[in-house]
Structure formats: C-alpha cells, structure tokens
Amino acid sequence: MAVVEVQIPGPLRTHTGQQSKVRAQGSTVGEVLQNLAQEYPSISSQLFESDGSVRRFINLFVNGEDVRGKGGLDTEVSEGDRVGILPAMAGGTGLTPEQVQRYHRHLIMPEVGSRGQRRLAASKVLIVGAGGLGSPAAMYLAAAGVGTIGIVDFDEVEISNLQRQILHGADDLGKRKVDSAAETLERINPTINVIKHDEPLTSANAREIIRGYDVVINGCDNFPTRYLVNDVCYWENKPLVDGSIMRFDGQLTVYAPGHGCYRDLFPTPPPPGMVPSCAEAGVLGVLPGIVGTLQALEAIKLILGIGEPLVGRMLMFDGLSMEFRELKLRKDPECPVCGEHPTITEPIDYVQFCGVPHETALVG
C-alpha cells in the first residue's frame, strides 16, 4: 500500500474542500480512486458510473503519464507518485478534447488548470520585433496557447538574422519577417490567431496598435522604438515586458501600469553612437533565446495572475560568468511621462529625441 498525491482538478475541488492536492492510499490507480471516494464521498458520483466503473470522460495519469498507455486502473503506484485526474470533456473545462490533450501539462498544474488555459486562449500579446528576443517569446507563447499574438515588424529576413532569430529559417530568406513568423507560429499551434503588423511602429500608429492587446513584449533593437513603446504602454495602461541584450549580457524587467517606466531609469537616451547596437557590437546567438524566453514567462504570469512579476526589479544576466543579479528600480516622481507632473502626454518625435539618423531608426 503506497501513499500517493492525488491532484484534484478545479471542477472537482468542491468535493475536496477546495484542496488541489490530497493524499490517498492504494497499490493501484483503481485502489487509490476507491480510497479517495471513501475519504471524500461526494466525489464518487463524479468519478464512477453507477456500476462502479470509472466514467469515460475521466482520464487518469500517474506522474504525468496517461494510464491508458500503461495498465489502466491496474497500473501500480509507488510511494510519493502523483496521480492526476483530468475530466476530459465534461466538468466545465470549456476546452475542446483536442485542447485538453494539447495543453495537458498545463491543465494538471493547479496554477494554470482549465481556467488559466482559457485565460491564455482569450489573451492578446503584442510582440514588437520578430527578431532575436521576439522569436523565442512568440514561439513559446504560441505553444502555450496564447490565443492572439500580434507581431509588428517591417523587415525582411536576412541571412545574418538566422544566427539568433529562430522564427526564421534558411527557406525564409527574403520573406517579410511577419509572414515568416506567422508561418512558424501556425506550424507550432494552428489553433491560435496571428496578427501581422507589417509596418514600422511609429508615433502615428503605436497607440492604435498597442491598444488592441493585453500585454506587450518589447523585442526592439533601437532607442527610438524603446522610448515610443514605453510611453505608449504607459498611456494605454498596458504592462510592458521589456528586454534587451548585448554581446553576452541581458536585461529584463516588467513595467506595470502605475509602477514606473523606462524613463525613470533612463530619462534621456545615450548620445548617438555611445552605446553600440547588436549589429555593431555583436550578440551571442543564444542570449536573446534566454532573455526572450524569460519575457514569455513573465507575459504568461501576467496573464494568469500568478507568481511575482518582475515589477520594480531589473534582472541582469551575465552569460559569461553565468550570473543573474537583481537591481531594485525606483519610481521617479519627476518622470516626464509617469511622474506627478507629466510634461509628455502624447507621442513625440522619437527619432529626433534620440538623435538617431532617420535611415537607421525605428527598426522593428
């Protein structure tokens, strides 16, 4: 007889006093269910038909493996095993059977569950730039089931992109980046909706574009766009998951509405030429993979409302020493955008503000 942990899905928790995990005994999955039903009698009718067989819409898992591929109810369990119960079609999951299968590893986690999965499906995330940061962010969000992913970029795929921009492959050279990105995301998850914004993000269109999304991921590679996205996210009340990379180093933070902005840290851009771009200084290809993946994680946490978002904190990653450090960010009451007496209340000329020559500015 082993003691196992039974993971109770949301719809069944009314029968277990809202506990998401309970202990039960048994040497097989069938025995564990019987003992569970003895401990929590009202769950019995949810799990069993009147003849005592397990209802057909209930799927059972041991340590994440479907017991149908093992010994069914006779599958043996050992001390400390995790037994998952997944009501596949009924139980009010609001998900299709295909979704239940696709997102199974999410659904068995109480922090996500069917409610969280539906939230992901209903969410809209804008990714600024289908480049090094935007690639892994978009791919993981698509795989996770974020229902609408917008991509703003007006570049074409070039061969020098392929060292890090994994949305694009050798077959995509010369394609519009938004097209190449949409094809990759649809291959990963054809059930989501990809919106292509094949245009530069500018002072003229940024508010309208950003307004249509719940969360913005910044994967841009230049200062004018960085300030533009920051300001517009503040005015439109959208959380901004900001990331940047250079050579072996990365930075990551979340600007949540009411909790400061990029300008609190960097009120003015560095003089042109002072901070080299990745095109000038280089970047190890995997670096944006790390930072962009962390951006996807923060976006998912914001959508699900779980964990501690990276708000008021700047995470610094040094790939050479393999160290993560954290800095506390201060809100600046004098900030011209989010401060007490704002002086900038609508998009400005960001190219002029950053002193960048027109032809190199606003690269998505």
112 interacts with Zn ion by CB under 5 A: no
Region from 118-126, 202-210, 256-264, 321-329 binding Zn ion, contact rule CB under 5 A: 256-264
Residues 6, 19: Cα–Cα separation, whole Å: 10
Instruction: Please report whether residue 231 would count as binding Zn ion according to CB under 5 A.
Output: no
Please choose, out of 71-79, 146-154, 278-286, 327-335, the segment that lies near Zn ion by the rule CB under 5 A. Answer: 327-335
Q: Which is nearer to Zn ion, 6 or 338 (CB)?
A: 338
Q: Which member of 32, 139, 335, 361 binds Zn ion (CB under 5 A)?
A: 335
**Residue 298, CA atoms < 13 Å, CB-side half-sphere:** 26
Binding Zn ion (rule: CB under 5 A), the pick from 192, 263, 283, 289 is 263
Residue/partner pairs of 70-75 with CB below 8 Å, 24 or more apart: 71/28, 72/29, 73/28, 73/29, 73/30, 73/33, 74/28, 74/29, 74/30, 75/28, 75/29
Query: What Å distances lie between residue 23 and 8, 43, 232, CA to CA?
Result: 10, 14, 49
| Contact region with Zn ion (CB under 5 A), list: 47-55, 136-144, 247-255, 258-266 | 258-266
Shortest Å distance, C-beta 267 to Zn ion: 8
User: Shortest distance, CB of residue 255 to Zn ion, whole angstroms?
Assistant: 8
Per CB under 5 A, 31 contacts Zn ion: no
- Does residue 338 touch Zn ion according to CB under 5 A? yes
Which residue's CB is nearer to Zn ion, number 242 or number 264? 264
What Å distances lie between residue 29 and 19, 22, 25, 38, 46, CA to CA?
20, 14, 9, 14, 16
First to last CA, the chain: 60
Residues 201 and 292: their CA atoms lie apart, in Å, by 20
- The β-bridge relationship of strands 82-87 and 58-62 is antiparallel
Q: How far apart are CA 201 and CA 312, in angstroms?
A: 26
Secondary structure of residue 9 in the 3-state scheme: coil
Nearer to Zn ion, 248 or 353 (CB): 353
Candidates 264, 278, 289, 362: give the one binding Zn ion (CB under 5 A): 264
- Non-local (6+) Cβ contacts of 270 within 8 A are 223
- Distance between CA atoms of residues 338 and 345, nearest Å: 9
Give 156 or 332: the residue with its C-beta nearer to Zn ion: 332
- Chosen residue from 261, 297, 351, 363 binding Zn ion by CB under 5 A: 261
Stretch that binds Zn ion, among 23-31, 165-173, 254-262, 303-311 (CB under 5 A): 254-262
Pick the stretch among 174-182, 215-223, 264-272, 318-326 that binds Zn ion (CB under 5 A).
264-272
Nearer of residues 4 and 338 to Zn ion, judged by Cβ: 338
Binding site for Zn ion (CB under 5 A): 261, 263-264, 335, 337-338
